Amino acid sequence: MRTTTSVNAGSMADIAFLMLIFFLTTTTIETDKGLSQTLPDPCLTKDCTAEIAERNLLRISINGNGEYLINERVIKLEELSTQVVNFVMNTEKSALKPSKPENAVVNLELSRELDYGTYIQVLDGVKQAYQQMRSDYSFERFSKALDQLNERELEQVLQAYPLNLGESAPARL
């Protein structure tokens, strides 16, 4: 008569469970990176459309040829920040531009076929313009750099130069 030996596998499940817990607790999972955009507050009224005066609206778009346009005028990407600053600050005191910086609205009209690299360049150009205006205002008003402001002062700067940014599909295809 032959006897067979068997291995007690009851503790194998315990070991596997302990190893699973060990690896789950010691492994760092890389989080996704993305754009830090703040979504607007939800609309609490029935009519959520807002009329924006044409003089307060700066339209930035990219056409099918890869040309950058501001209010349907072709510009170079390097000029984008300067054009945004000129519009928001109304340096020419034009009746066709916003009377106050807080009234300015920047609208990006971008095609869905546009690559993300170009989108990021345009967004960076707009944000760079606002960073410059906020920094200049900070020196003018508080005689401090933007990163040296306290919370109350920073809030005043952000109220003076809010980034009112909208995105839409191009009106014409």
pLDDT tens-place string over residues 45-92? 766 677 777 888 889 988 777 788 888 888 998 999 999 998 888 877
The residues, any chain, with a CB within 8 Å of residue 118's CB and separated by 6 or more, are 62, 66
User: Is pLDDT at 173 greater than 50 in this prediction?
Assistant: no
- Please say whether the beta carbons of 85 and 145 come within 8 A: no
User: Is pLDDT at 141 greater than 70 in this prediction?
Assistant: yes
Quick one: pLDDT at residue 19?
A: 93
User: Is pLDDT at 6 greater than 70 in this prediction?
Assistant: yes
Quick one: pLDDT at residue 12?
A: 82
User: Is pLDDT at 133 greater than 90 in this prediction?
Assistant: yes
Query: Mean pLDDT over all residues of the chain?
Result: 83
Higher-confidence position of 170 and 121: 121
Distance (Å) of CA 150 to CA 101, 153, 156: 22, 5, 10
- Give me the count of residues in the chain: 173
- The residue ranges of DSSP E strands in the chain, in sequence order, are 57-62, 68-70, 73-75, 105-109, 165-168
Please state, in angstroms and rounded to a whole number, the distance separating the CA atoms of residues 92 and 72: 19
Q: Of 72, 74, 71, 34, nearest to 54 (Cα)?
A: 71
Quick one: pLDDT at residue 98?
A: 77
Half-sphere exposure at residue 69, Cβ-oriented, CA atoms within 13 angstroms: 14
Cα-Cα-Cα-Cα dihedral sign, residues 132, 170, 72, 94:
negative
Higher-confidence position of 93 and 135: 135
Quick one: pLDDT at residue 39?
A: 66
Quick one: pLDDT at residue 46?
A: 67
Place of tokens 């315990």: 14
Quick one: pLDDT at residue 169?
A: 74
Please state, in angstroms and rounded to a whole number, the distance separating the CA atoms of residues 94 and 98: 8
pLDDT tens-place string over residues 7-56? 777 788 888 899 999 998 998 877 777 777 766 677 777 666 777 778 88
